[in-house]
A and B are shown apart, each in its own frame.
Chain A
Amino acid sequence: MTQQRSTSLTLNRRGLLGALGGGALVAAGAGMTARNADAAPEDAAKWASELTGGRNPVDDPRVAIDLPPIAENGNTVPVTVTVDSPMTDADHVTKIHVVAEGNPNPGLCTFELTPACGKAEASTRIRMARTQNVVAIAELSDGSVISGKKEVKVTVGGCGG
């Protein structure tokens, strides 16, 4: 009896989760359309390709962006970019570009690293106009370009205007 009851409970929960997931997908789709109308992700991609000399970055889990999930004040959002790299003379990160997809200007900053850094990690504080993705693009000494992405929700934008 108990066994049966628990099975039906699980089924119900699964059905409910499925419905919720579907709703979330629709909401995400609507958000995407609104963002595309702004053409900001395209600007960001263009900016990034200029910085890297036309080399297309490949998504790679070695690039990690540490950002608060919700930034209450868009005027100063702490950001840390870490790239998993041994930082030796033969294999190191030369540049890390940080790009915003929803700011008036897509560029945030560029860190230029050397093997003397010992660890491919740098932090700063940035201004975010609204909820958007932050993209980090790392150029490696072997010529490859890898990237990572993270969304930050902004309560009050911080770009003046």
Chain B
Amino acid sequence: MAASRPRVKVPKSAAKGEVFQIKTLVTHKMETGLRKDKDGQPIPRDIVNTFTCDFNGKTVFTMKLEPAVSANPYIAFFQRATESGEYTFTWTDDTGESVSETKSIQVG
């Protein structure tokens, strides 16, 4: 199952040098690989294993996820405002599928 419905909160504008929080949420079941189905067969692992945040083409934050991260992973982190530009958020799961979202910010 691919990750879907990315939701990202980035302020529309910020003062130069301001430190602000970015909150992200994506829909994904995050199957751990430890559970068994009703026939006793293990359900294969399927998780979002990597999350990256790029700003104007440069990676500024990465997260490696393990099966212990809850379903529909919520990730929040901070950024310092330096210039106006665009944030690109990418979630990649075990099947190799990825989903992206972009948000722009005005700095000044």
Contact = CB atoms under 8 A, between A and B. Distances in A.
Contacts of B69: 108-109, 124-127
B66 A123 contact: no
> What's the interface size class on A, roughly?
20 to 34
Contact of A159 (B32, B61, B64, B74): B32
Given A111-B63, A118-B80, A159-B32, 16 more contacts: A100-B68, A105-B66, A107-B68, A108-B68, A108-B69, A111-B61, A112-B62, A114-B61, A117-B80, A122-B61, A125-B70, A126-B69, A127-B68, A127-B69, A158-B70, A160-B34
Nearest to B76: A123
Nearest to B67: A105
Contacts of B35: 160-161
Contact of A119 (B19, B58, B74, B82): B19
Interface in B38-81: 55, 58-71, 73-80
Contacts of B65: 109
Interface residues of B, number: 28
- Overall SS of chain B's interface: strand
Given A123-B77, A124-B73, A113 B68 contact: no
Contacts of B66: 105, 107-109
B60 to A, nearest CB: 4
Nearest to A47: B66
Contacts of B79: 116-118
B56 to A, nearest CB: 10
A127 B19 contact: no
A126 B61 contact: no
Interface of A: 75-77, 80, 87, 100, 103-105, 107-119, 121-128, 158-161
A122 B76 contact: yes
Contacts of A128: 68
B68 to A, nearest CB: 5
Nearest to A75: B70
A85 B78 CA distance: 13
Contacts of B59: 114
A116 B77 contact: no
Contacts of B78: 117-119, 121-122
